């Protein structure tokens, strides 16, 4: 199961922040940006761009981080936007006047231009400026357009976007980056106790359906058990993942052949190949490349519904997973991940007596796309193999190459 490093929006501080977040929601959704709730102190550090800001951003393990602050009152109301890349470098620091009654169409357009920049550049980051300081793109503020996005009343202290009479908005222009060597930025005052963003997004859940193919190649030494080889057979199953915070990932899956038969003498016996697995991983390295140790438990089984002694025997491997995954983000929506694991067999049904010593390994790769903030798809290839050894009698290798596609929902 893959774990993307999405670009995240950690909320806005200031009076009536919830109304402004509601106005920005369509732009975030359109650009595939995930909302995430973080502690008030961490959000304040991000907005102030203080000494601890980079550490906070890096701890979120995101492809980019977006935050905002509302300040002023009435005609002097402002919206301060900060955007960081995956390495914790400040790439956008923009403070714009907004309409006395809330965000205007021009403000929304400027916001979309800025977030589209980080979406287009992820996971690439800007080169550090002198003395290790990040280069910050200084942009001209958008022209003020007092036309609110929705109807409301004339009270300046009312929630933004819900007051005033709509009027025709003027075109807005946003200039390209100015002096890239200008690394100074005023630290705006930050609300000491920022209200939490709507919803706790520190736990993420994915559930999907699996469809694919699996084959089997059992090669044995003479005088042990009957060999077995099959062409690729269709499989179906389910997969789920839970992200607990930015580092801990719990996954589980089950897949089983849909329809499979084996010729045993004159009979065509029903046959099954299946696999169930659960694992937990913890990101110890994150950035352009992510690395996580993986531990888990699984079972791989093969069975033929036949009493014939001439057939290949039923087999089950119950194994422990000890491995690691490595991955990288390809843009804002795509991710590539690989897995390698050593799998000592601790139980299950042996192919023959006495019980052999058994162990296995698993290698695989997957490509995943986050189509929207709530829909994902994945294509994967996997090769799992087990080795068995009988004292003084020889051994066997039992390989299961497979390929799957999956699609599901993310919450």
The correct CATH number of 203-410 out of 3.30.1950.10, 2.40.128.100, 3.50.50.60, 1.10.260.40 is: 2.40.128.100
d(CA 51, CA 378): 39
For residue 388, what pLDDT band results from cuts at 50, 70 and 90?
A: very high
67 contacts 43 by C-beta, under 8 angstroms:
yes
Q: What is the pLDDT of residue 99?
A: 75
Q: What rounded mean pLDDT belongs to the chain?
A: 80
Q: What is the pLDDT of residue 5?
A: 64
Main-chain dihedrals φ then ψ at residue 158, nearest 5 degrees: -75, 165
* pLDDT tens digits, 220-255: 998 888 999 999 999 999 999 998 877 889 999 999
Q: Compute the average pLDDT of residues 385-396.
A: 90
Q: Which of 148, 118, 95, 139 is nearest to 6 (CA)?
A: 118
* pLDDT tens digits, 152-188: 333 444 343 333 333 444 443 333 333 434 434 333 3
For residue 4, what pLDDT band results from cuts at 50, 70 and 90?
A: low
Q: What is the C-alpha R_g of the chain?
A: 28
Higher pLDDT, residue 50 or 308: 308
Q: What is the pLDDT of residue 119?
A: 77
Domain boundaries, the chain: 1-201, 203-410
């Amino acid at each position: 199961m893959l774990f993307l490093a999405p670009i995240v929006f950690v909320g806005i501080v200031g009076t009536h922040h919830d109304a402004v977040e509601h106005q920005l929601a369509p732009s975030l959704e359109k650009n595939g940006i995930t909302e995430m709730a973080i502690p008030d102190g961490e959000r304040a550090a991000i907005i102030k761009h203080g000494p601890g800001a980079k550490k906070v951003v890096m701890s979120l393990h995101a492809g980019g981080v977006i935050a905002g602050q509302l300040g002023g009152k009435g005609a002097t109301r402002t919206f301060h936007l900060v955007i960081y890349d995956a390495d914790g470098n400040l790439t956008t620091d923009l403070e714009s006047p907004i309409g006395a009654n809330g965000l205007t169409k021009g403000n929304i357009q400027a916001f979309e231009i800025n977030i589209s920049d980080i979406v287009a550049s992820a996971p690439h980051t800007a080169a550090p400026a002198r003395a290790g300081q990040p280069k910050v793109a200084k942009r001209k503020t958008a022209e003020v357009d007092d036309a609110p996005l929705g109807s409301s009343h004339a009270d300046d202290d009312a929630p933004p976007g819900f007051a005033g009479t709509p009027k025709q908005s003027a075109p807005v222009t946003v200039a390209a980056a100015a002096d890239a060597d200008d690394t100074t930025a005023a630290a705006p005052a930050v609300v000491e106790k920022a209200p939490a963003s709507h919803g706790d997004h520190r736990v993420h859940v994915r559930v999907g359906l699996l469809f694919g193919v699996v084959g089997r190649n059992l090669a044995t030494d003479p005088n042990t058990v009957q060999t077995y080889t099959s062409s690729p057979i269709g499989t179906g199953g389910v997969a789920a993942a839970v992200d607990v915070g930015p580092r801990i990932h719990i996954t589980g899956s089950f897949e089983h052949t849909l329809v499979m038969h084996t010729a045993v003498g004159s009979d065509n016996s029903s046959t099954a190949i299946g696999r169930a697995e659960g694992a937990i991983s913890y990101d110890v390295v994150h950035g352009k490349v992510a690395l996580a140790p993986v531990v888990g438990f699984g079972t791989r089984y093969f069975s033929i519904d036949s009493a014939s002694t001439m057939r290949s025997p039923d087999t089950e491997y119950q194994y422990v997973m000890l491995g690691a995954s490595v991955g990288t983000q390809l843009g804002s929506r795509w991710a590539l991940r690989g897995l390698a694991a050593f799998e000592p067999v601790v139980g299950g049904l042996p192919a023959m007596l006495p019980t052999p010593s058994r162990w296995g390994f698993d290698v695989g790769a997957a490509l995943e796309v986050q189509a929207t903030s709530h829909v994902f798809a994945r294509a994967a290839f996997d090769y799992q193999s087990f080795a068995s050894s009988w004292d003084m009698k020889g051994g066997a290798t039992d390989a299961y190459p497979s390929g799957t596609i999956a699609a599901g929902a993310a919450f």
